[in-house]
């Protein structure tokens, strides 16, 4: 008999709230965390808006924040969200065998030391070229090796293992925008097959820096709706022009059911379905017929043992890009058939932007809160219907509805597709 996996704790650091309840209040009321970029001078960039985490103070979560002085925002966001998740779960160190407690993240790379790099490049520039020998010597002298190590994407998982004495499996996947959803799915499989009893899983990322914005601008993926930041992200709307970059972290405590029962844990919900596929197409483009997304949703339904009419809500990947929204709509229609038109779909990226590697984990938490409160968050800024996007996108206002199952989609560059299904816990 397959081991059941439940969620007993959740934590989030997002542009719309620095804990799950603050975040949820904004999502329910259609607020926005999108504004002008303040992390750096973006005045010359085509995109000058983002969804930043404001007034973040790590000392609210740990006793010695200076210990993480060289860590990137991805690490500090992960620590804060994980601390909230562990507290929320009520899990004490004495209640879990540390060798049966693991970490599986979908965390992105940290932020480079841009001021130092730009200073080194400026000093090494000569006659329009870079003196590489000078640059190398200066770099060895001025760059901090600890800071450089902290940029590796597996650093958040390492820090969390040390912080919570999680001596079990420790992994990180970086499959772009699908990363944290994939981490949750794979962490679930680790518990199902008996290799751990508790997994701390989720994601953390921040790409609101010159390299991140430049890269996505070159891909023409970002919205340039700079004059009205809060209206820039408009998933499924005919006038959508790209996604808005966000940052943050989402963390879940996943626990084997009997382990959770033995300690009297409050159960937030159950993970019942997981699907993972690849488009096997182009690394920068979704397959035009959504073949990977369709098979992924169907795989999750099979894993959960659910029919297409048993999904009460879909939290869409819904990035606000032309192709992604159109293809995701097509995939939902193909996977669910006529039931797609009876199933509410919404995208919280309309309010908090796209958290890249961390997006899926925050959207997973949103699914669990939707199930808890029977409130579906809206897709904001939906004004002009697109004939190719013809589902019920819960436009502009939250909706009360009975939700016992929720499907969350995440699709990433490289053709990675992940679908997770959460359900209200029934003993």
**Tell me: the pLDDT tens digits for 380-412?**
999 999 999 999 999 999 999 999 999 999 999
Is 266 tagged catalytic? Answer: no
Write down the pLDDT at residue 145: 59
Rg (CA), the chain: 21
Residue ranges for the chain with pLDDT beneath 70: 111-150
Instruction: Indicate which residue of 205, 209, 259, 317 is catalytic.
Output: 317
Sheet holding 5-13, edge to edge: 170-172, 101-105, 198-206, 247-256, 5-13, 269-278, 416-423, 405-412, 313-315, 345-346
How many CA within 13 A on the CB side of residue 420? 34
The per-residue pLDDT for range 224-251, each reduced to its tens digit, is 999 999 999 999 999 999 999 999 999 9
Are the beta carbons of 149 and 155 closer than 8 angstroms? yes
Q: What gap in Å lies between CA 366 and CA 360, rounded to an integer? A: 10
Are the beta carbons of 333 and 340 closer than 8 angstroms? yes
8 burial (CB, 10 Å; 0-12 / 13-18 / 19+) is buried
Write down the pLDDT at residue 120: 57
**Kind plus residue range of the DSSP H or E element containing 254:** strand 247-256
The alpha carbon of 93 is separated from its chain's Cα centroid by a whole number of angstroms, namely 27
Write down the pLDDT at residue 130: 61
Q: Check the CA dihedral 27-23-53-178 and report its sign.
A: negative
- In the chain, which segments carry CATH 3.40.47.10? 5-112+151-423
| CATH number, span 5-112+151-423 | 3.40.47.10
Instruction: Indicate which residue of 88, 296, 354, 367 is catalytic.
Output: 354
Is 317 tagged catalytic? Answer: yes
The alpha carbon of 158 is separated from its chain's Cα centroid by a whole number of angstroms, namely 19
Is 354 tagged catalytic? Answer: yes
Collect all residues with Cβ–Cβ distance below 8 Å to 115 and sequence separation of at least 6: none
Instruction: Indicate which residue of 88, 159, 173, 177 is catalytic.
Output: 177
């Amino acid at each position: 008999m397959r081991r059941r996996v439940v969620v007993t704790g959740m934590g989030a650091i997002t542009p719309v709230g620095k804990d799950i309840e603050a975040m949820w209040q904004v999502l329910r009321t259609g607020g926005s965390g999108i504004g002008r970029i303040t992390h750096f001078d973006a005045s010359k960039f085509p995109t000058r808006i983002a969804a930043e985490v404001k007034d973040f103070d790590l000392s609210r979560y740990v006793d010695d924040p200076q210990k993480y002085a060289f860590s990137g925002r991805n690490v500090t966001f992960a620590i804060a969200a994980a601390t909230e998740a562990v507290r929320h779960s009520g899990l004490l160190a004495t209640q879990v065998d540390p060798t049966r407690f693991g970490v599986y993240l979908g965390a992105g790379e940290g932020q480079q030391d841009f001021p130092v790099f730009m200073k080194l490049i400026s000093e090494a520039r000569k006659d329009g070229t870079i003196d590489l020998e000078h640059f190398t010597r200066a770099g060895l002298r001025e760059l901090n090796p600890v800071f450089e190590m902290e940029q590796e994407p597996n650093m958040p998982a390492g820090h969390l293992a040390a912080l919570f004495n999680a001596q079990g499996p420790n992994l990180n996947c970086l499959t772009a925008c699908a990363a944290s959803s994939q981490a949750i799915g794979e962490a679930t499989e680790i518990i199902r097959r008996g290799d751990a009893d508790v997994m701390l899983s989720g994601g953390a990322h921040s790409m609101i820096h010159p390299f991140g914005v430049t890269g996505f601008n070159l891909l023409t993926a970002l919205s340039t709706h700079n004059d009205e930041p809060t209206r820039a992200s408009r998933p499924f709307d005919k006038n959508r022009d790209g996604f808005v970059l966000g940052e943050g972290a989402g963390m879940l405590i996943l626990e084997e059911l009997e382990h959770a029962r033995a300690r009297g844990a409050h159960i937030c919900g159950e993970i019942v379905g997981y699907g993972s596929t690849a488009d096997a197409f182009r690394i920068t483009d979704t397959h035009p017929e959504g073949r990977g997304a369709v098979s992924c949703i169907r795989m999750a339904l099979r894993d959960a043992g659910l029919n297409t009419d048993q999904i009460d809500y879909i939290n869409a990947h819904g990035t606000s890009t032309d192709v992604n929204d159109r293809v995701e709509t097509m995939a939902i229609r193909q996977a669910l058939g006529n039931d797609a038109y009876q199933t509410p779909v919404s995208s919280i990226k309309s309010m908090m932007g796209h958290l890249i590697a961390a997006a899926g984990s925050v959207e997973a938490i949103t699914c669990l809160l939707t199930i808890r409160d029977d409130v579906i968050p809206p897709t904001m800024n939906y004004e002009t219907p697109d004939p190719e996007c013809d589902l019920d996108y819960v436009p502009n206002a939250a909706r009360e509805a009975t939700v016992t199952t929720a499907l969350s989609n995440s699709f990433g560059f490289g053709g990675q597709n992940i679908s997770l299904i959460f359900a209200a816990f029934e003993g």
